[in-house]
């Protein structure tokens, strides 16, 4: 989870990924979009070392990455659309901290990126405080449910699902 610092790069050109390093603040997630579809390996272990040194907590990139084993060893989380050994050039300027579309989602600089093994969510900067509050409430509620389930209580009972089963005509048959 972190604040989006955005990059709009040209396909096959990772120049702006070097430029963004001086814009990264601790807790940022670097979000890289391209002006057109491309799978080249635009980010690898050397850029990850630089990003981490400036406080980045992860990368979301609508292109390829390389040196995946090194990135995994570094524990630098990356969400990419491809893995590719195809290198890149540094020839065409792009933009940093501008609105981008990455993986089909519109992302503004400063939006909150929340990502894990299940996927990535973009939380608009102006909604972040309310979403955080609601999320904390949801986590607390689910922890209470976990406690009840650990004690052996059935979700059928505390979620009130038995009445719906009856309404649907479901019946238990004991053929033992």
Q: What is the pLDDT of residues 113-141, one digit of tens each?
A: 999 989 999 999 999 999 999 999 999 99
Q: 87 or 13: whose pLDDT is higher? A: 13
Statement: the pTM of the whole predicted model exceeds 0.75: yes
128: Cβ contacts below 8 Å, ≥ 6 apart? 111, 112
CB 60 within 8 A of CB 29: yes
36 pLDDT more than 80: yes
Handedness of CA 114, 116, 118, 120 (dihedral sign): positive
**C-alpha dihedral, 59 to 14 to 66 to 84, nearest 10°:** 110
Q: Which two tokens stand for residue 12?
A: 């096959």
pLDDT of residue 151: 96
- Grade residue 76 by pLDDT with cuts at 50, 70 and 90: confident
**pLDDT surpasses 90 at 147:** yes
* pLDDT of residue 68 exceeding 90: no
Does the pLDDT value for residue 73 go beyond 90? no
What does the longest C-alpha to C-alpha distance in the chain come to? 75
Given a contact cutoff of 8 angstroms between Cβ atoms, the answer to whether 12 and 41 are in contact is no
């Amino acid at each position: 989870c972190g604040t989006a610092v955005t990059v709009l790069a040209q396909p096959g050109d990772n120049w702006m990924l070097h430029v963004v390093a001086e814009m990264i603040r601790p807790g940022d997630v670097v979000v890289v979009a391209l002006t057109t579809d491309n799978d080249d390996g635009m980010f690898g272990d050397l850029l990850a070392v630089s990003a981490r040194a400036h406080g980045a907590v992860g990368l979301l990139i609508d292109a390829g990455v390389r040196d995946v084993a090194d990135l995994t060893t570094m524990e630098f989380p990356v969400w990419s659309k491809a893995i590719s050994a195809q290198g890149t050039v540094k020839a065409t300027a792009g933009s940093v901290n501008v609105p981008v579309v990455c993986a089909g989602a519109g992302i503004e600089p400063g939006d909150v990126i929340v990502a894990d093994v299940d996927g990535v969510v973009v939380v608009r900067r102006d909604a972040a405080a309310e979403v955080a509050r609601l999320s904390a409430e949801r986590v607390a509620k689910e922890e209470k449910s976990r406690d009840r389930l650990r004690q052996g209580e059935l979700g059928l009972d505390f979620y009130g699902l038995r009445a719906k089963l009856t309404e649907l005509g479901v019946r238990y048959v004991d053929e033992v």
